[in-house]
Homo-oligomer: A and B are copies of this chain.
Amino acid sequence: MKFSKFPTKAGRRSLSRSISQSSTDSYSSAASYTDSSDDETSPRDKAQVNTHGSSDFCVKNIKQAEFGRREIEIAEQDMSALISLRKRAQGEKPLAGAKIVGCTHITAQTAVLIETLVALGAQCRWTACNIYSTQNEVAAALAETGVPVFAWKGESEDDFWWCIDRCVNTEGWQANMILDDGGDLTHWVYKKYPSVFKKVRGIVEESVTGVHRLYQLSKAGKLCVPAMNVNDSVTKQKFDNLYCCRESILDGLKRTTDIMFGGKQVVVCGYGEVGKGCCTALKALGAIVCITEIDPICALQACMDGFRVVKLSEVIRQMDVVITCTGNKNVVTREQLDRMKNGCIVCNMGHSNTEIDVASLRSPELTWERVRSQVDHIIWPDGKRVVLLAEGRLLNLSCSTVPTFVLSITATTQALALIELFNAPEGRYKQDVYLLPKKMDEYVASLHLPNFDAHLTELSDEQAKYMGLNKNGPFKPNYYR
């Protein structure tokens, strides 16, 4: 099949869906360290070959491999859990025979994951889940070591599907495991190569969106292989939300606005895990924080944690910073934007790009001025400026970096989920969506404790009996969150 025949954007409507929103989200500008003033030739039009003579890949520039290797090595230093997993499992090669097709952000951290999978015996083909998020040098480094990678930063939508197709549709190799982030790969296989699922032992999916789609498939009775939802594992949840946001809210605001936190009046909309993380950090740095909530239980927690619970409209005039973390839509309305004071910063840490009514700001009486990357001044007729970050998309994806350590937890969980699904005895998993068993969640956590030089206590036999627990866990009920 000549790929130029691949349906154009218009033609692809027959697929009944376009690229997922997350695939086009902007992504941290920190993602690439090398010069972006590269030549403009599309990688699809270049003939490249790695030093081993293979040309089964498509990356921006294979010559950047050395730089990418260094980035991978730096990442390895903070991902000792995966390295340790490599060591523990390497002898038995638990993924021997696994043929994994993967679709994730392609960064130094996922490279550490991919190379771990290879070390455990798997063959991998990989593509990007987002058209902006590929670190070209890292893709080059992977291609150089022989992993067929099809991804570069700044793909077109057509490129995006072409890359996925090249991963799946290859002669003499058929995937038996899928690792997906966002569900686009899974979707493509469903639509184009449904027969692949006959051999596939399972899907591991990381994103909210992708997991949502799997549950829908399952409900509709169309899920034909077991799927593991790693998004909702306890460890990932706590890190992605509470702890990671605690750090990234500061970083995102600082890198975009150089704001001084001390004494700033901040309102955080939503006091779930994300809101809690944001509030903790901002309060700790001297900001004066209040929150809005719809849920009385979270509101009561906010009170006990020392935050005033207010309605947004009551306080909007006094605020220096407005942060949304609700998962809802139109939490900040045009009317509220109209009432903000000059210089007020507005950003979103929550969900997609729905929380701030950005569309309402695209009206003729307002002037938009891009003052820095990801920073727009919206100027009212009277001269008032509101500072909008990342056009209302997720601040921590767009304007800060995610700590390697957090990514390590996700990657380790993904690796364990793959091992579990690939090796599970017939019948353990049906055609359904599963959460990682609590015990594996605990194992992921335990692999990360050495980073902190943390020493676990072991139960004595007598204590285990008293508690009714197995000495090796699981220690938490499955419903623990």
Report B-chain residues with C-beta under 8 Å of the C-beta of A261.
247
CB-contact partner of A454 in B259, B299, B404, under 8 A: B299
Given contacts A466-B329, A476-B295, are A262 and B306 in contact (CB under 8 A)? Answer: yes
Q: Which residues of B contact A476 (CB under 8 A)?
A: 295, 297
Residues of chain B within 8 A (CB-CB) of A308 are 288, 452-454
Which residues of A from 387 to 440 have beta carbons under 8 Å from B? 400-401, 403-406
Interface string of A250-262 (1 = CB under 8 A from B): 1100110011111
Partner of A263, one of B254, B451, B459: B451
A342 CB to closest chain B CB, in angstroms? 7
* Interface residue? A116 (CB, 8 A): no
Which of B260, B303, B309, B371 makes the CB contact (< 8 A) with A406? B260
CB distance from A268 to the nearest CB of B (A): 12
Q: Decide if B453 touches A318 in the complex (CB within 8 Å).
A: yes
Please tell me which one of the listed residues B286, B300, B369 contacts residue A246 in the complex, with CB atoms under 8 A apart.
B286
Contact of A265 with B by CB under 8 A: yes
Supposing A294-B475, A463-B328 touch, asked if A285 and B246 sit within 8 A by C-beta, the answer is yes
Identify which of B33, B263, B294, B459 contacts A456 (C-beta below 8 A). B294
Task: Indicate if A3 sits at the interface (CB-CB under 8 A).
Answer: no
CB distance from A51 to the nearest CB of B (A): 22
Of A304, A327, A449, most B-chain CB atoms within 10 Å = A304
User: What 0/1 readout, one digit per residue, does chain A (468-481) give for beta carbons within 8 Å of chain B?
Assistant: 00000101100111
Nearest-Cβ distance from residue A263 to partner chain B, whole angstroms: 4
Q: Which of B243, B306, B404, B455 contacts A283 (CB 8 A)?
A: B306
Partner of A455, one of B309, B377, B481: B309
For A304, give its contact among B250, B263, B292 (CB under 8 Å). Answer: B263
Instruction: Verify if A92 is at the interface (C-beta below 8 Å from B).
Output: no
* A77 adjacent to chain B (CB < 8 Å): yes
Interface residue A311 (Cβ < 8 Å from any Cβ of B): yes
Which of A234, A255, A292 has most B Cβ within 10 Å? Answer: A255
Report if A247-B235 is in contact (Cβ < 8 Å); known contacts: A254-B254, A455-B311, A466-B329. no
Assembly CA distance A284 to B246 (angstroms): 10
In contact, B330 and A296 (Cβ under 8 angstroms): no
A91 CB to closest chain B CB (Å) equals: 23
List which A102-151 residues lie within 8 A (CB) of chain B. none
Distance A456 CA – B294 CA, assembled complex (angstroms): 6
* Chain B residue nearest to A78 in the complex (CB): B343
**A449 surroundings in chain B (CB, below 8 A):** 296, 299-300, 303, 309
B294 and A243: CB pair below 8 A?
no
A243 close to B295 (CB less than 8 A): no
A385 within 8 A of B: yes
A158 at the interface (CB under 8 A from B): no
CA distance A404 to B298 in the complex (A): 20
Residue of chain B at shortest CB distance from A76: B343
A238 interfacial by beta-carbon distance below 8 Å: yes
User: Of all chain B residues, which has the CB nearest A280?
Assistant: B284
- Which chain A residues (267-316) contact chain B, with CB distance < 8 Å? 281, 283-288, 292-312, 314
| Residue A40 at the chain B interface, CB threshold 8 Å | no
A265 contacts across to B, CB distance below 8 A: 452-453
Q: Are B300 and A403 in contact (CB under 8 A)?
A: no
By beta carbon, the residue of chain B nearest A234 is B297
In the complex, the answer to whether B306 meets A286 with C-beta atoms within 8 Å is yes
Give the Cβ gap from A330 to chain B, nearest Cβ, in Å.
7
Q: Does A366 contact B (CB under 8 A)?
A: no
CB-CB nearest in chain B for A447: B296
CB pair A371 B258 closer than 8 Å: no
For the complex, is A446 an interface residue (Cβ under 8 Å from B)?
yes
Most buried by B among A243, A449, A481: A243
Whether A329 contacts B462 in the complex (CB less than 8 A), given A33-B372, A263-B306, comes out as yes
Known A78-B343, A254-B254; contact A475-B295, beta-carbon cutoff 8 A: yes
- Can you give 10 contacting A-B residue pairs, CB < 8 Å? A235-B300, A243-B260, A246-B262, A247-B285, A260-B404, A294-B457, A297-B442, A300-B449, A308-B452, A310-B455
Query: Which 7 A-B pairs rank lowest in CB-CB distance, beginning with the nearest?
Result: A284-B284, A260-B403, A309-B454, A296-B445, A263-B303, A296-B446, A262-B304
* Supplied contacts A286-B306, A309-B454, A328-B463, 6 more A-B pairs, CB within 8 Å: A244-B260, A260-B406, A281-B284, A284-B284, A295-B473, A297-B442
